[in-house]
């Protein structure tokens, strides 16, 4: 069997592990336009902030490719899939034949056009190379402007805080981290980040850039030495789209991760849409664990096993300046439980007698996985001691039978 | 592989396993030193108490290893036998594992301000042999057994 | 002051020998002397004795009582008792000859007696029981008197001394019987008393024994519940009573008795077929307190036969052999070879295995 | 009243250099002796509540604790011990009978310790139990001594009385469910089953869960008749009629209502929370002939298939009583000496009533032999058989088997603090409080019981081998194997043994 994987990040690695779970001998080839050993993209901010060495950027042990018998074609971009003859064509016109193909092309930064932007020059913050470029440019005390107060923008801000205290973040939304936090949580986090010296302009955007100055729509101006555009990302769907696969915002797959409309082609990771069980709709869940799991499922199915990817929910675990957030699921409940204690915040979202989502911050993040499991396993809260659980996430709240299953059996 | 299991009918909630666990992972040669001299001693096992219910919980070393799959750095790994261990040097404290562990068994290392997480590694990195929570349980509530065959 | 048998328990080691002519030929006591003498080193001069069966054919319907008296008044008292209970058909001193090494001999008398029918009837006992009771009575009640032989057509001869000297002393070459047993004693406590020498006898049961049983007091305290009185505190005495009890009074066969006193181990019993297992369980459990432990090799003499038995671990030596109608049992093979150099079938019976040699039809006709 | 005159009996020593404030002592003390004070960040004690059960000392991970007698002492007097003074104080404050538990701790002679065991030298060989078979199996029950033959000459074995076969001559004495915990009962039942010996329900009935161990269960019928039913009688391998108990001869029992939990109430067949009172006598047994009636009622109820045991306390005329029982149809007699344990007894009775088992056993065995009925009944000695050597001495005096209770409880964690009557046993034995009962893990405890009996059995076999005896039958009543040491002629005469050196 001849497996080809486009993409060398979590989905691709997951796919390798999924294939090797059963097929120890089939040929696996990974194609990536980045020239690096597989590395963890979420670590680029840590690397930039000098919290992680080059060595520790590696997502897997140094001997991963050898141990798993993987060929790599690094630094070359796949430009076309010829599904009819089962070939991938690379940017040097070379061809790679496949029996089974995984597309794990990830996403790319979305940079909205803005007058003067191209002239003034900017950085994005997705890849190792992005971080390297920023690191090369940044000088102690440099003025940094970050457009976008989402996960990427704020992680960049945290990293750059190691170099300068002169950081400004602007976002069109009226709160930071608007995709994962509600208003209370966002307010707490914003205050926390501001306490480190980072300035925010919210509910506004850049009107235009003039030299190293941004003119905001609210009339303010902001000088900068370094500009980072972190407004959003877009999935890399072109290969599939061109090959005739079904694409919405992201690539559409079935539960086996096979791309709809194509045969022997699978897709996983940020370039795909997943079925979010917490809301019952397809959406892009662009997070690393999701990418890995999808890749693994794809790999297993590519190697002839029969697995389905279910129970995907949005989930995030992230921290800024030592204040941690763990969130999951949807925030559209019919009931909620909320506790605020200083920087710590907890909100549990309940819908139809089940936990559907939560936001945890600060000291409340401990044992968050217990809540996650409630969402994923769709356990009716009436089956458990929710009064106990809402304040003390633990197995004590579960029925004896459920608990014995968790504790006394091998899983 | 042998794993640690607790028999809730036998667990007394004495919490001694937590102390022995903290000692075992402290690198000290006595439990007194672990608590009197070592500021970082911290258990990987946690006893939950709720009224008359008591039970100790630590990493189940489960088969799906959601924590390993979710780990963004590769710090968490599982060996061929199923032992889930953590390389704290590679941990950046993102807590994705905390988010995914359905047993609440990833322990945030409060002793270093939460910069990393830690977890039960069945004492393979310290004294080895039978884990200390098992060895020191005063009521035989915590056992070290291979139950994977039953699966 | 050293205590004699009866005042203190005296275990001992020893030599034993015995043989039987299954055809009932009468053999003189000289063979028994010769056989036991060769095992001289197994005794220490503190006791020797013989039992001969078929030696009193002329009085074979009468009980032959052999008695030791320490003094004449004991004899008078005993004879009064005997006259009250028995018809004394014949009485005499037992002939002896002077032997240098045999000293301090008591008065040694022999009585051929028949129970008085009136007394027997009045006692409501069976005859053997009546005789037994009388013997025990004399031995326990009359100071200085001791019945050391009380069977029919048989007799025990014993003394303090080496057995070959004892045989000479009692002129055993003058007696002839179809079977003989002999004993050389090595008591592990001095001094040895005439009555304490072997064989020990009750009615026609005699026991010669080499060993030291560890179950002694358990056996004694049990058997004494049944009217026996262990006055000598010797193994031989209690073993004789056990045989009397189980054989005469409970009608167990000799092999059944072996299953009681040298019972197989429970594990062995458990490995037997169901019926045999049940029988062995029953015997062992019913007479649990008669299990004899510790080393013993015994020859039981009785009218018409000999039985040899070792303890169940076989902690003492004992061999058997035969030639023609002769069957031999001895502590050592040399004791057999001495009187029958070409004996065949020499073997060491297993622990707990009862080896029985009895008069054949011809022998029974001649002797019983 | 503000002053109670009673100083604490014990002092709790804590090495603060070692104490890591894990608070396990606090969590595990049902008497609430230890407590943590957050202001001082230190552990403190209410030592007046300490009963010296050693739970905290045992579990302390840093071995920082020791319990000692309170060195505080009253002015010494030989006629008024501090203990006696305190007891009077206590009675003056409560107006109540003093209660105690476990065996009589007073300084009475322990005859076991004044008897020495024989061994073989030279003239007969000692037997090595590791190389030769060594039998300690026992059958309890009547032993007929007559033999009947079938017409074909084989032995007729149909007439045999029921026999209780025990693989080891050691059984677990009666301890009721109620006085001890469910887990303690389970441990005893499982150990007896694994060992091939018996445990005894005591007078509290048999929990449904334990019917599965019935082949190794002796069911007791006592004066309260708690939990007695046809099913219960059928569940026993033997039935024991408890006429008396060594620790409290002449009086009944009293299980306080607070120990009558749901399960205990079901098992005893009495309402939950009510006091369970066993009358002093059986009100249907005022004489030996009444006892005979009950014995035969029980036999009738169980088709004459099970041995009936009668248990009596060792009292002054125990030999005559035993003789009556041996003739009453009972198969097994249990004699319980005055040092035997109890879950609760009036102190004065425990400490002053009854006689030692050694003397009682010796005189009963001899009496039954004198009356030529020793074979009619087996004798089980109970009431302070503390070790394998005590057991060997009991066998040599005439016991067929022994009952042990205190050593069994020691095996499963009892520290003999003698506070059973408080019902707060920190070791999960003499309590019904679920959180405390849980502390006794039957999986561990039953193995310890099995170990104990195995260890004793090994020792018994060693001693038997030393004596040249390879079966227990040959040891039973073999008093020549014993010699007294430091005993008077009278004591030697009653024990039926000679003095050492004789």
CATH code of the domain covering residue B82: 3.30.70.20
Residues B51 and B80 in one domain: no
Q: Give the separation between CA D82 and CA A302, rounded to whole angstroms.
A: 86
Final residue of a domain: which of A174, A209, A233? Answer: A233
Residues A344 and A229 in one domain: no
| pLDDT at residue A411 is higher than 80 | no
Q: Which residues, including other chains, have CB under 8 Å from residue A280's CB and lie 6 or more apart?
A: none
Chains A and C touch (3+ CB pairs under 8 A): no
Average pLDDT over residues C272-295: 96
Q: How many C-beta neighbours within 10 Å does residue A56 have?
A: 21
Q: Give the separation between CA D325 and CA D242, rounded to whole angstroms.
A: 12
Which residue in D427, D394, D259, D224 sits closest to D314, CA to CA? D394
The DSSP-derived string for D441-495 is: -HHHHHHHHHHHHHHHHHHHHHHHHHHT--BGGGTTT-GGGEEESS--HHHHHHH
Structural domain harbouring A369: 322-408
Residues A206 and A180 in one domain: yes
Q: Are D265 and D271 in contact (CB under 8 A)?
A: yes
Whether residue A395 and residue B55 make contact (CB cut-off 8 A), yes or no, is: yes
The 3 state secondary structure assigned to A173-219 is CCCCCCCCCCHHHHHHHHHHHHCCCEEEEECCCEEEEECCEEEECCC
Q: Are A98 and A277 in contact (CB under 8 A)?
A: no
For residue C266, give the chain D residue with the closest CA: D135
Q: How many C-beta neighbours within 10 Å does residue D451 have?
A: 12
Q: Give the separation between CA D440 and CA D153, rounded to whole angstroms.
A: 56
Please indicate, yes or no, if residue A156 is contained in any of the structural domains: yes
Instruction: Measure CB to CB from residue D137 to each of C216, C266, C293 and give the nearest one.
Output: C266
Residues A86 and A160 in one domain: no
Q: For residue B136, which residues of chain D lie inside 8 Å, CB to CB? A: 61
Q: For residue A326, which residues of chain B lie inside 8 Å, CB to CB? A: 95, 98-99
Please indicate, yes or no, if residue C183 is contained in any of the structural domains: yes
Whether residue B95 and residue A52 make contact (CB cut-off 8 A), yes or no, is: no
Chain-centre distance for alpha carbon A210: 33
CB of A52 within 8 Å of a chain B CB? The answer is yes
Whether residue B19 and residue D17 make contact (CB cut-off 8 A), yes or no, is: no
For residue A328, give the chain B residue with the closest CA: B99
Query: Where would I find the H helices in C154-230?
Result: 163-169, 216-223
Instruction: Measure CB to CB from residue D28 to each of B14, B19, B23 and give the nearest one.
Output: B14
Final residue of a domain: which of A209, A233, A257? Answer: A233
Please indicate, yes or no, if residue A260 is contained in any of the structural domains: yes
Whether residue B89 and residue A56 make contact (CB cut-off 8 A), yes or no, is: yes
Instruction: Measure CB to CB from residue D61 to each of B12, B19, B139 and give the nearest one.
Output: B19
CB of D444 within 8 Å of a chain B CB? The answer is yes
pLDDT by residue (tens digit) across A250-303? 999 999 999 999 999 999 999 999 998 888 889 899 899 999 999 999 999 999
Q: Give the separation between CA D395 and CA A304, rounded to whole angstroms.
A: 74
Instruction: Measure CB to CB from residue D477 to each of C256, C265, C289 and give the nearest one.
Output: C289
Please indicate, yes or no, if residue C7 is contained in any of the structural domains: no
Please indicate, yes or no, if residue C1 is contained in any of the structural domains: no
CATH code of the domain covering residue C145: 3.60.20.10
Please indicate, yes or no, if residue A102 is contained in any of the structural domains: yes
Final residue of a domain: which of A233, A267, A291? Answer: A233
Whether residue C11 and residue D123 make contact (CB cut-off 8 A), yes or no, is: yes
Chains B and D touch (3+ CB pairs under 8 A): yes
User: Which pLDDT belongs to residue B128?
Assistant: 66
Whether residue A326 and residue B73 make contact (CB cut-off 8 A), yes or no, is: no
State the pLDDT confidence band at C188, using cuts at 50, 70 and 90: low
Q: Give the separation between CA B135 and CA B122, rounded to whole angstroms.
A: 12
With contact defined as 3+ CB pairs under 8 Å, the chains touching C are: D
Position of tokens 């004896």?
A400
Hey, what are D457's tokens? Answer: 């059995």
Q: Give the separation between CA D201 and CA D220, rounded to whole angstroms.
A: 6
CB of C352 within 8 Å of a chain D CB? The answer is no
State the pLDDT confidence band at A74, using cuts at 50, 70 and 90: very high
Please indicate, yes or no, if residue B6 is contained in any of the structural domains: yes
Hey, what are C316's tokens? Answer: 């003492």
Catalytic residues of C: 14
With contact defined as 3+ CB pairs under 8 Å, the chains touching B are: A, D
Question: How many structural domains are present in chain C?
Answer: 1
Residues B53 and B70 in one domain: no
- C129, burial (CB in 10 Å: exposed 0-12, middle 13-18, buried 19+): middle
Structural domain harbouring C116: 12-367
Please indicate, yes or no, if residue A48 is contained in any of the structural domains: no
Q: Give the separation between CA B22 and CA B37, rounded to whole angstroms.
A: 13
Instruction: Measure CB to CB from residue B15 to each of D18, D22, D58 and give the nearest one.
Output: D22
Q: Give the separation between CA B26 and CA B34, rounded to whole angstroms.
A: 6
Whether residue B99 and residue A408 make contact (CB cut-off 8 A), yes or no, is: no
First-to-last CA distance in chain D? 63
SS3 label, residue C108: strand
Q: Give the separation between CA D176 and CA D199, rounded to whole angstroms.
A: 11
For residue B8, give the chain D residue with the closest CA: D438
| pLDDT at residue C2 is higher than 90 | no
Mutation site, D161, D326, D471, interface C, largest C CB count within 10 A: D471
Q: Which residues, including other chains, have CB under 8 Å from residue C210's CB and lie 6 or more apart?
A: C13, C14, C15, C16, C42, C296, C297, C298, C316, C318, C331
Residues B115 and B134 in one domain: no
Which structural domains are found in chain D, ordered by start? 10-96 (3.30.70.20), 138-145+165-499 (3.20.20.70)
The DSSP-derived string for D263-306 is: HHHHHHTS-TTS-EEE-SS-TT-SSHHHHHHHHHHHHHHTTT-S
CB of B93 within 8 Å of a chain D CB? The answer is no
CB of A328 within 8 Å of a chain B CB? The answer is yes
Q: Work out whether the CA dihedral C35, C38, C43, C48 comes out positive or negative.
A: positive
State the pLDDT confidence band at C9, using cuts at 50, 70 and 90: low
Question: How many structural domains are present in chain B?
Answer: 2
Hey, what are D356's tokens? Answer: 């030692």
Please indicate, yes or no, if residue C4 is contained in any of the structural domains: no
Q: How many C-beta neighbours within 10 Å does residue A43 have?
A: 25
Chains D and C touch (3+ CB pairs under 8 A): yes
Q: Work out whether the CA dihedral D150, D156, D158, D159 comes out positive or negative.
A: positive
Instruction: Measure CB to CB from residue B10 to each of D24, D58, D441 and give the nearest one.
Output: D441
Instruction: Measure CB to CB from residue B55 to each of A60, A319, A407 and give the nearest one.
Output: A407
Q: Give the separation between CA A288 and CA A250, rounded to whole angstroms.
A: 16
Please indicate, yes or no, if residue B44 is contained in any of the structural domains: yes
CATH code of the domain covering residue A253: 3.50.50.60
CB of A137 within 8 Å of a chain B CB? The answer is no
Residues B8 and B50 in one domain: yes
Q: Are D140 and D307 in contact (CB under 8 A)?
A: yes
Residues B134 and B90 in one domain: no
Q: For residue C13, which residues of chain D lie inside 8 Å, CB to CB? A: 123
Question: How far does the CA of residue C314 sit from the closest CA of chain D (Å)?
Answer: 11
User: Which pLDDT belongs to residue C193?
Assistant: 80
Total-model pTM = 0.89
Please indicate, yes or no, if residue A310 is contained in any of the structural domains: no
Whether residue D469 and residue C214 make contact (CB cut-off 8 A), yes or no, is: yes
Q: For residue B6, which residues of chain A lie inside 8 Å, CB to CB? A: 407-408
Residue-level length of chain D? 502
User: Which pLDDT belongs to residue B38?
Assistant: 85
Helix H or strand E segment including C241: helix C235-243
Please indicate, yes or no, if residue B124 is contained in any of the structural domains: no
Question: How many structural domains are present in chain A?
Answer: 3
Mutation site, B7, B35, B52, B142, interface D, largest D CB count within 10 A: B35
Mutation site, A322, A368, A377, A402, interface B, largest B CB count within 10 A: A368
pLDDT by residue (tens digit) across C101-160? 898 899 999 999 999 999 999 999 999 999 999 999 999 999 999 999 999 999 999 999
Please indicate, yes or no, if residue C100 is contained in any of the structural domains: yes
Whether residue B104 and residue A367 make contact (CB cut-off 8 A), yes or no, is: yes
Please indicate, yes or no, if residue A45 is contained in any of the structural domains: no
Q: What is the DSSP letter of C95?
A: P
A contact residues 293-322, partner B, Cβ 8 Å cutoff: 293, 296, 315-319, 322
Structural domain harbouring B1: 1-58+130-145
Mutation site, C189, C246, C293, C316, interface D, largest D CB count within 10 A: C293
CB of A209 within 8 Å of a chain B CB? The answer is no
Q: What is the pLDDT along chain D (502 residues), one digit of tens a residue?
A: 568 889 999 999 999 999 999 999 999 999 999 999 999 999 999 999 999 999 999 999 999 999 999 999 999 999 999 999 999 999 999 999 999 999 999 999 999 999 999 999 988 889 999 999 999 999 999 998 889 999 999 999 987 899 999 999 999 999 999 999 999 999 999 999 999 999 999 998 999 999 999 999 999 999 999 999 999 999 999 999 999 999 999 998 888 787 888 999 999 999 998 888 899 999 999 999 999 999 999 999 999 999 999 999 999 999 999 999 999 999 999 999 999 999 999 999 999 999 999 999 999 999 999 999 999 999 999 999 999 999 999 999 999 999 999 999 999 999 999 999 988 999 999 999 999 999 999 999 999 999 999 999 999 999 999 999 999 999 999 999 999 999 999 999 999 999 999 9
């Amino acid at each position: 069997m001849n497996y080809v994987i486009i993409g060398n990040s979590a989905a691709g690695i997951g796919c390798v592990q999924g294939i090797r779970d059963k097929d120890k001998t089939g040929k696996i080839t990974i194609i990536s336009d980045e020239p690096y050993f597989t590395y963890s993209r979420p670590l680029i901010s840590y690397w930039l902030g000098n919290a992680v060495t080059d060595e520790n950027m590696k997502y897997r042990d140094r001997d991963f490719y050898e141990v798993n018998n993987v060929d790599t074609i690094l630094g070359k971009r796949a430009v076309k899939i010829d599904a009819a003859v089962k070939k991938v064509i690379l940017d040097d016109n070379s061809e790679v034949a496949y029996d089974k193909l995984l597309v794990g092309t990830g996403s790319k930064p979305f940079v909205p056009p803005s007058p003067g932007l191209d002239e003034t020059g900017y950085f994005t913050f997705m890849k190792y190379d992005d971080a390297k470029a920023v690191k090369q440019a940044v000088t102690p005390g440099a003025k940094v402007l970050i457009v976008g107060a989402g996960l990427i923008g704020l992680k960049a801000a945290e990293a750059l805080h190691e170099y300068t205290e002169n950081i400004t973040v602007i976002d069109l939304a009226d709160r930071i981290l608007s995709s994962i936090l509600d208003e209370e949580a966002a307010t707490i986090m914003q205050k926390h980040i501001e306490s480190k010296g980072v300035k925010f302009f919210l509910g506004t955007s850049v009107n235009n850039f003039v030299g190293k100055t941004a003119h905001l729509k609210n009339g303010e101006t902001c000088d900068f030495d370094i500009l980072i555009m972190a407004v959003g990302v877009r999935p890399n769907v072109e290969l599939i789209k061109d090959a005739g696969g079904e694409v919405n915002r992201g690539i559409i797959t079935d539960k086996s991760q096979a791309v709809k409309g194509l045969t022997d082609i699978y897709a996983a990771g940020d370039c795909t849409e997943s079925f979010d069980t917490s809301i019952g709709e397809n959406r892009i869940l662009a997070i690393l664990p999701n990418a890995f799991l999808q890749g693994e499922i794809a790999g297993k199915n590519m190697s002839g096993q029969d697995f389905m990817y279910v129970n995907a929910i949005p989930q995030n675990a992230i921290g800024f300046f030592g204040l941690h957030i763990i969130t999951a699921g949807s925030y559209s409940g019919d009931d909620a439980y909320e506790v605020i204690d200083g920087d710590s915040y907890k909100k549990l979202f309940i819908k139809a007698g089940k936990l559907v989502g939560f936001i945890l911050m600060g000291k409340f993040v401990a044992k968050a996985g217990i809540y996650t499991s409630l969402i994923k396993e769709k356990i009716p809260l009436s089956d458990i001691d929710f009064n106990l659980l809402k304040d003390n996430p633990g197995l004590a709240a579960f029925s004896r039978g459920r608990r014995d299953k968790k504790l006394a059996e091998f899983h | 592989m042998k794993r640690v299991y607790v028999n809730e009918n036998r667990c007394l909630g004495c919490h001694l396993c937590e102390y022995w666990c903290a000692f075992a992972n402290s690198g000290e040669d006595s439990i007194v030193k672990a608590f009197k001299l070592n500021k970082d001693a911290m258990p990987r096992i946690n006893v939950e108490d709720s009224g008359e219910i008591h039970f100790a919980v630590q990493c189940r070393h489960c088969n799906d290893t959601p924590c390993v799959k979710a780990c963004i750095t590769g710090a968490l790994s599982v060996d061929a036998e199923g032992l889930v261990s953590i390389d704290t040097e590679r941990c950046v404290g993102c807590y994705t594992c905390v988010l995914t562990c359905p047993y609440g068994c990833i322990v945030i290392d409060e002793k270093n301000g939460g910069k990393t997480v830690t977890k039960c590694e069945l004492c393979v990195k310290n004294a080895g042999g039978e884990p200390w929570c098992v060895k020191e349980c005063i009521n035989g509530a915590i056992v070290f057994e291979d139950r994977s065959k039953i699966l | 002051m050293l205590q004699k048998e009866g005042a203190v328990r005296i275990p001992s080691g020893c030599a034993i020998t015995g043989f039987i002519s299954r055809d009932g030929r009468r053999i003189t006591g000289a063979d028994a002397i010769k056989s036991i003498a060769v095992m001289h080193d197994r005794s220490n001069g503190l006791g020797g004795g013989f039992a001969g069966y078929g030696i009193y054919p002329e009085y074979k319907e009468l009980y032959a009582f052999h008695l030791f008296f320490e003094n004449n008044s004991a004899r008078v008292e005993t004879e009064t008792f005997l006259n009250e209970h028995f018809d004394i058909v014949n009485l005499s001193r037992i002939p002896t000859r002077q032997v240098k090494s045999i000293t301090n001999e008591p008065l040694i008398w022999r009585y051929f007696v028949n129970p008085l029918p009136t007394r027997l009837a009045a006692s409501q006992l069976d005859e053997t029981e009546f005789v037994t009771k009388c013997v025990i009575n004399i031995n326990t009640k009359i100071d200085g008197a001791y019945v050391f032989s009380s069977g029919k057509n048989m007799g025990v001869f014993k003394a303090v001394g080496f057995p070959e000297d004892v045989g000479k002393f009692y002129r055993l070459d003058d007696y002839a019987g179809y079977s003989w047993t002999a004993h050389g004693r090595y008591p592990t406590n001095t001094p040895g008393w005439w009555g304490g020498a072997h064989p020990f006898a009750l009615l026609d049961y005699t026991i010669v024994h080499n060993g030291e049983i560890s179950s002694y007091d358990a056996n004694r305290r049990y058997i004494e519940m049944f009217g026996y009185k262990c006055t000598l505190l010797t193994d031989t005495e209690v073993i004789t009573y056990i045989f009397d009890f189980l054989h005469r009074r409970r009608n167990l066969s000799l092999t059944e008795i072996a299953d009681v006193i040298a019972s197989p181990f429970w594990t062995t019993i458990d490995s037997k077929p169901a019926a045999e297992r049940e029988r062995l369980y029953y015997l062992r459990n019913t007479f649990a307190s008669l299990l004899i432990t510790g080393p013993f090799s015994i020859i039981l003499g009785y009218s018409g036969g000999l039985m040899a038995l070792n303890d169940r671990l076989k902690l003492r030596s004992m061999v058997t052999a035969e030639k023609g109608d002769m069957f031999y049992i001895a502590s050592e093979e040399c004791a057999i070879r001495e009187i029958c150099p070409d004996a065949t079938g020499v073997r060491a019976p297993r622990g707990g295995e009862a080896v029985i040699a009895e008069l054949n039809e011809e022998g029974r006709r001649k002797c019983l | 009243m503000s002053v109670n005159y009673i100083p604490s009996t014990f002092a709790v020593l804590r090495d603060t250099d070692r104490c890591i404030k894990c608070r396990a002592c606090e969590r595990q003390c049902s008497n609430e002796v230890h407590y943590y004070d957050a202001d001082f960040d230190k552990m403190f004690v209410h030592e007046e509540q300490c009963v010296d059960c050693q739970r905290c000392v045992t579990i302390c991970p840093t071995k920082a604790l020791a319990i000692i007698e309170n060195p505080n002492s009253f002015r010494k007097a030989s006629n008024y011990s501090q203990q006696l003074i305190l007891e009077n104080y206590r009675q003056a404050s409560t107006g109540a009978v003093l209660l105690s538990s476990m065996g009589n701790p007073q300084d009475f002679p322990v005859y076991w310790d004044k008897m020495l065991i024989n061994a073989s030298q030279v003239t007969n060989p000692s037997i090595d139990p590791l190389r030769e078979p060594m039998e300690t199996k026992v059958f309890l029950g009547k032993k007929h001594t007559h033999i009947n033959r079938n017409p074909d000459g084989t032995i007729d074995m149909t007439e045999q009385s029921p026999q209780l076969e025990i693989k080891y001559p050691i059984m677990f004495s009666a301890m009721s469910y109620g006085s001890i915990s469910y887990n303690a009962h389970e441990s005893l039942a499982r150990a007896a089953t694994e060992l091939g010996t018996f445990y005894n329900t005591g007078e509290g009935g048999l929990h449904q869960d334990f019917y599965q161990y019935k082949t190794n269960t002796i069911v007791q019928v006592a004066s309260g008749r708690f939990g007695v039913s046809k099913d219960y009688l059928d569940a026993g391998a033997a039935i024991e009629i408890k006429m008396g108990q060594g620790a409290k001869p002449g009086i009944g029992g009293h299980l306080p209502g607070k120990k009558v939990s749901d399960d205990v109430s079901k098992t005893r067949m009495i309402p939950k929370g009510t006091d369970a009172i066993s009358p002093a006598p059986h009100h249907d047994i005022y004489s030996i002939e009444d006892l005979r009636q009950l014995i035969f009622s029980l036999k009738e109820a169980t088709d004459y298939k099970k041995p009936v045991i009668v248990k009596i306390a060792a009292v002054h005329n125990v030999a005559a009583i035993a003789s009556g029982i041996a003739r009453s149809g009972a198969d097994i007699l249990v004699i319980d000496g005055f040092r035997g344990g109890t879950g609760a007894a009036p102190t004065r009775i425990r400490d002053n009533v009854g006689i030692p088992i050694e003397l009682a056993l010796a005189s009963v065995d001899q009496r039954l032999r004198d009356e030529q009925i020793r074979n009619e009944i087996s004798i089980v000695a109970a009431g302070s058989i503390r070790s394998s050597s005590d057991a060997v001495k009991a066998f040599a005096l005439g016991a067929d088997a022994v009952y042990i209770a205190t050593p069994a409880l020691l095996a499963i964690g009892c520290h003999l603090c003698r506070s059973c009557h408080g019902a707060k046993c920190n070791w999960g034995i003499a309590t019904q409080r679920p959180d405390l009962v849980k502390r006794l893990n039957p999986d561990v405890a039953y193995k310890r019981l099995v170990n104990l009996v195995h260890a004793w059995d090994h020792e018994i076999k060693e001693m038997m081998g030393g004596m040249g005896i390879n079966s227990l039958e040959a040891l039973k009543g073999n008093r020549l194997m014993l010699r007294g040491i430091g005993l008077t002629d009278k004591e030697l005469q009653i024990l039926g043994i000679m003095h050492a050196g004789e």
